[in-house]
Amino acid sequence: MPESRRHFRGRVDAALENPRLQQALTEAMTSLRAVRARGFESYDFEAGREDLKSRRQSNLPMLPELVQQFRERLEAVGGQFHFARGAAEARQTIGEICRRAGAGIVTKSKSMATEEIGLNHHLEGLGMEVVETDLGEYMVQRLGQHPSHLLAPAIHLTLQDWADELGVEPDRDAIMGHARKELREKFINAAVGISGANAAIAETGTVMIVTNEGNADLTITLPRVHIAVFGIDKVIASLDDAVAMLRMLPRSATGQLMSAYVNWVTGPSRSSDIGFSPVIGAHGPREMHCVVLDNGRTEMLADPVFADALTCIRCGACSNACPAFMAVGGHQFGHIYSGPIGLVLTPFHHGLEAGELPNSLCTQCNACQEICPVDIPLPRQILEHRRRGHRKTVTKRALLEVWSRPGAARAATRLAGPVSRLFPVGPAPLARRPFRSMVLTGGTGGRPVTIFASCLVDRIMPEAAEALGISLATAGRSWSIARMWLRRELER
């Protein structure tokens, strides 16, 4: 059953009214924005974006051939390739590999692809203990939640939330010490380690895994079997393409010049040919499997509006820049994949209904595309999902019909302003006077700034535009309202 609008609105309202969530989001998001800005002080963002965008887009038409080439190279170095058309097929394949390995404990490093296919629940249903070893994923798993951010799964939690769950002092060292103690035994006893992949390199059959915690190293080297799970969109042509990604990914994600760990895995350990040492992990995994997932990606590739979404490098920068995400968090703003890119991916991976209500949180401010390291046209793609798949109530259809006729829309909004204050039906009645009727220009000096008052600001929140005008004037900047077709109405 799809979620009702009433229930979704209740979740959003609860998020806005949750002081701990608001504290966590404000602290985390402002910090991520600041460190990203510092990360690009030493590197030309526009030049790096143009290079990476060109490389990623040039790979798209060749994607089926690159996947086949990756398979050939992987098998040539002793790895095993498995193609999964959908989530169920991927779960079945991974479950069978784990069963053959005699897995009682399965350790996992951070992987959104495994979240996408619902892997943990499936393996637990087969009687296996699945242990998330990324610190954020570890906490989210303990709380019975899903990750709320592509990069930082527990971004919605405060330090006190962590301390309360673990029963320790609200101190980072105490939290990490507790997790390290619990996880060490799991690493040693796991028969299978599962990871994602940031890239799969067709020319060598190599999987690249980028992390900031040592848990991924332990996950892919200590168990006898390593399984890497990733979408076909992660397959790239060359090592040069991977290096271009490494120049942009850490800076866009965490503001680092380079992530703490970059693993290059090319097949299983060669030393397994001479027998496995009784010392755990001394020679690395005996088997290395790559489960390569389609799950709607081929459909996306064939759609000229959405194909660019497959160039995403999962840095999470679009979420960090998104005002709506900062207001309510990923659990309200997405399904499995959250943030602006999640709004684009969800209908392909999980169906239109799964993405419909979160899609309504997008304000079309364009911040996501401006910050995207591969310049994905996310606002346009989000709008296209709305056009294709959103259910429209009778009221919404009537409003859209009126809005499509400028004369009728102007007359209706003039009438509705005072009436909506007498009979309010929601938290935001129409303003008595739109912003465009209040003032045209303001401030003096400096380079001029043009304010485009959107429908929402113009008709419902003119005070927000007024505040912006005051701020600009205080900063010594002159400003004016964007004119276009507005000119005729302003002159009437």
Backbone angles phi, psi at 165, to 5 degrees: -70, -40
Both 138 and 79 in one domain: the answer is yes
Q: 445 in a domain, yes or no?
A: yes
Question: How distant, in Å, are the alpha carbons of 107, 347, 449, 456 from that of 472?
Answer: 53, 40, 8, 20
- pLDDT for 391 equals 62
Picking from 247, 270, 298, the residue at the C-terminal end of a domain is 298
User: Structural domain of residue 490, as residue ranges?
Assistant: 431-492
Mean predicted lDDT score pLDDT of the chain: 88
Both 227 and 280 in one domain: the answer is yes
- pLDDT for 328 equals 97
Both 478 and 424 in one domain: the answer is no
Both 213 and 288 in one domain: the answer is yes
User: How many other CB atoms sit within 10 Å of the CB of residue 170?
Assistant: 14
Both 112 and 185 in one domain: the answer is yes
d(CA 278, CA 55): 44
d(CA 355, CA 338): 10
The model's pTM is: 0.85
Both 293 and 418 in one domain: the answer is no
Does residue 486 register a pLDDT over 60? no
Q: 248 in a domain, yes or no?
A: yes
Q: 32 in a domain, yes or no?
A: no
Greater model confidence, 275 or 34: 34
Picking from 236, 264, 298, the residue at the C-terminal end of a domain is 298
Q: 164 in a domain, yes or no?
A: yes
- pLDDT for 272 equals 42
Does residue 141 register a pLDDT over 70? yes
Q: 183 in a domain, yes or no?
A: yes
Picking from 246, 275, 298, the residue at the C-terminal end of a domain is 298
Count up the domains in the chain and report the number. 3
Both 422 and 470 in one domain: the answer is no
Both 289 and 406 in one domain: the answer is no
- pLDDT for 433 equals 75
pLDDT band at 178 (very low <50, low <70, confident <90, very high): very high
Q: What SS3 state is found at 170?
A: coil
pLDDT band at 421 (very low <50, low <70, confident <90, very high): low
Which CATH number do you get for residue 112? 3.40.50.10420
Q: 78 in a domain, yes or no?
A: yes
pLDDT band at 273 (very low <50, low <70, confident <90, very high): very low
Both 215 and 263 in one domain: the answer is yes
Short-list 43, 110, 55, CA closest to 255 = 43
Both 292 and 398 in one domain: the answer is no
Both 153 and 261 in one domain: the answer is yes
pLDDT band at 450 (very low <50, low <70, confident <90, very high): confident
Does residue 484 register a pLDDT over 70? no
- pLDDT for 279 equals 40
- pLDDT for 413 equals 67
pLDDT band at 489 (very low <50, low <70, confident <90, very high): very low
Helix intervals (H) in 329-405: 330-333, 339-350, 352-359, 367-371, 378-389, 394-403
Q: 492 in a domain, yes or no?
A: yes
Report the range of poorest mean pLDDT among 56-60, 187-191, 259-263, 277-281: 277-281
Q: What is the pLDDT of residues 31-87, one digit of tens each?
A: 999 999 999 999 999 999 999 999 999 999 999 999 999 999 999 999 999 999 999
Report the range of poorest mean pLDDT among 334-343, 381-390, 397-406: 397-406
Q: 312 in a domain, yes or no?
A: no
- pLDDT for 276 equals 40
Does residue 303 register a pLDDT over 60? yes
- pLDDT for 492 equals 41
Does residue 485 register a pLDDT over 90? no
Cβ-based neighbours of 298, under 8 Å, separated by 6 or more: 232
Q: What is the pLDDT of residues 372-401, one digit of tens each?
A: 999 999 999 999 999 887 666 667 677 667
Both 280 and 153 in one domain: the answer is yes
Does residue 138 register a pLDDT over 70? yes
Does residue 435 register a pLDDT over 80? no
Report the range of poorest mean pLDDT among 134-143, 186-195, 233-242, 265-274: 265-274
